[in-house]
Amino acid sequence: NSNGSVSIRGATYTKDPAWFNVPSNVLEATSRRLHLQKDHPVYITRQIIESNFPQPTYKYYNEYNPVVSTNQNFDSLGFPPNHPGRALSDTYYINEKTLLRTHTSAHQADTFRANESEGYLISADVYRRDAIDRSHYPVFHQMEGARSWDRDKVPNGDIAAAVRDDLEKLPKHNIEVEDPNPAFHEERNPLQDCHSAAEAQAIGEHLKRSLECMVVDIFSRAKAAAVKEDPNFVDEPLRMRWVEAYFPFTSPSWELEVYYAGDWLEVLGSGVVRQSLFNNAGVPNRLGWAFGIGIDRIAMLLFKIPDIRLFWSQDQRFLSQFEGVSDKLDTLRRFAPFSKYPPCPKDVSFWLASTSAAGGNTRGNFHENDIMEIVRSVAGDVVEDVRVIDEFTHPKTGRKSLAYRIVYRSLERTLTNEEANGFHEAVREALVKELGVELR
C-alpha cells in the first residue's frame, strides 16, 4: 500500500487524503473472508441460514468485493444525501465516492439487475466505525436475502395468487408469533401505490413465514447444541415478534425480534422492496421482499461465543473446536472457553481541546468513534471494552472533561501489567497527538 493508493483484494484504489480513514487493522481484515473459511463459526452459520433458502430458487452470491461506490451503498437504495450513515465518523472511505460497504444491501441493485434467479442470498464482510465492546467489531458479516416475482411470468399476471401458491409450499413452524402484524406508520412506511393491498399482503406473509422458519431453525440448533453440553438444559420456549421498522429501500418494513436472555433481541431487518429499486435495476415487472441479518451475532448465540473478537482469532484452541462441522451440521457444539484471562482496566481522563458544543456521540470537535479507533489501532484485539465513565463541564471555564475506562484483555494469554501499561501509555500519547486533548 503506497501513499497515494491502496490495494484491497487484488485491486488498487486511489486514496483521497481528505477522505481516507481506514486503519491498517481494518484493511488487513478485508482479506480474511471468514464466511468462506470452512469450519469457521461464521461459515457454519452462513450454511445454516442458506439451508433455509434452497437453490435454485435462491442463488448464492458470496464473493462480492467489499469496496463499493457511494452509489451502491447509499444512493441506489434511496438514502438521502444528508443521511448520518454517510458520515466519515461512521463509514470507512477510500475516497469521496468509494468506501467499504456498510451493509450487504449495497449489492441489491446489482443483483436485481443481474436477474439470474427468483431469489438470492448474499453473504459478505461489512465495515462500520462503532463502539468497542464484546459484541461490536469494526468488521462483521451480513447475509442479505430477497425473493421476487415477475408479473409477466406468473399465471394471468396475478402476483397475489402466485405468491399465495408459493406460500403454501413453504415449511411451517408451530411457534405462535406474538405480534404477527404490527400496524405500520402511514407516512414512514406506506403501502406502495404500485401494489394492490392483496399483493402487499401476500408478499408480507411470504416474507414473514420464510424468515420465521429460518429463526426457528437457528434456535432449535442452538438448543440442540446446549443440550449436548448439558443434558439437563431446559430453555424457555422460543418467543418471536414483528416490530415496525424503517429502511429507505423497503416499505412497509419490519424487524423480527426474539426473546433471549431476558430481553427482546433484534435479529433481522426486512421489508417489501421499494419498486423504484426494481425499476432502476431494469426489472420493473418484478416485485418482492428483502431481508438482512447479522451473521456474527447469530453465531455468538448458536455457539455461545462470549466475545466477537474470537472470530478473528487464529488460535487453534478456538478454530479446532469447529473442525468437521461444515460437513455435518448436526455435530455443532457450543464453544468451550479455553481459559479466561484476567482483565486489565485502565482509565484515562482529559480536557477537550475545543469547547464547541456538538450533539449525539460527537464530543467536542471529534466523534466518539475516533477514540474507539485510536484505541483499536494501538492495542488491536487486546482491547475488550471502551466506555465513558465521567463527563463534566467546568462551571467557570466551560471546559469539558471526559474520562474513559479501557479494559485490556487478551483472549489468548495473560497480559503482563507492563504490557497493558505500554498499550495505555501509547493510547494516551495518541489521544494528545490525534485529538489535541490535554491529559489530566
Q: Does 290 bind ligand PHE (CB under 6 A)?
A: yes
Q: Does 278 bind ligand PHE (CB under 6 A)?
A: no
Nearer to ligand PHE, 245 or 325 (CB): 245
| Shortest spacing between CB 255 and ligand PHE, in angstroms | 8
Q: Does 270 bind ligand PHE (CB under 6 A)?
A: yes
| Shortest spacing between CB 144 and ligand PHE, in angstroms | 6
| Buried/exposed 262-276: b ≥16 CB within 10 Å, e otherwise | eeeeebbbbbbbbbe
Q: Does 210 bind ligand PHE (CB under 6 A)?
A: no
Nearer to ligand PHE, 289 or 366 (CB): 289
Piece of the chain touching ligand PHE by CB under 6 A; list 113-121, 155-163, 290-298, 420-428: 290-298
Give the one residue of 53, 61, 92, 247 binding ligand PHE; rule: CB under 6 A. 247
Q: Does 250 bind ligand PHE (CB under 6 A)?
A: yes
Measured in whole angstroms, how far is the alpha carbon of residue 20 from the centre of its chain? 22
Nearer to ligand PHE, 30 or 104 (CB): 104
| Shortest spacing between CB 312 and ligand PHE, in angstroms | 21
Q: Does 271 bind ligand PHE (CB under 6 A)?
A: yes
| Residue nearest to ligand PHE according to CB distances in the complex | 292
| Shortest spacing between CB 294 and ligand PHE, in angstroms | 8
Nearer to ligand PHE, 274 or 363 (CB): 274
Nearer to ligand PHE, 211 or 352 (CB): 211
| Shortest spacing between CB 328 and ligand PHE, in angstroms | 30
- Three-class DSSP labels, 42-99: HHHHHHHHHHCCCCCCEEEECCCCCEEEHHHHCHHHCCCCCCHHHCCCCCCEEECCEE
Q: Does 189 bind ligand PHE (CB under 6 A)?
A: no
Piece of the chain touching ligand PHE by CB under 6 A; list 35-43, 84-92, 263-271, 378-386: 263-271
Give the one residue of 43, 74, 92, 291 binding ligand PHE; rule: CB under 6 A. 291
Q: Restricting to residues 70-109, which ones interact with ligand PHE according to CB under 6 A?
A: 103, 105
Nearer to ligand PHE, 42 or 290 (CB): 290
Piece of the chain touching ligand PHE by CB under 6 A; list 3-11, 265-273, 318-326, 417-425: 265-273
Q: Does 269 bind ligand PHE (CB under 6 A)?
A: yes
Nearer to ligand PHE, 250 or 369 (CB): 250
Q: Does 292 bind ligand PHE (CB under 6 A)?
A: yes
CA distances to 8, 9, 29, 179 from 1, rounded to whole Å, are 9, 12, 14, 51
Contacting residues toward ligand PHE, per CB under 6 A = 103, 105, 144, 247, 250, 269-271, 290-292
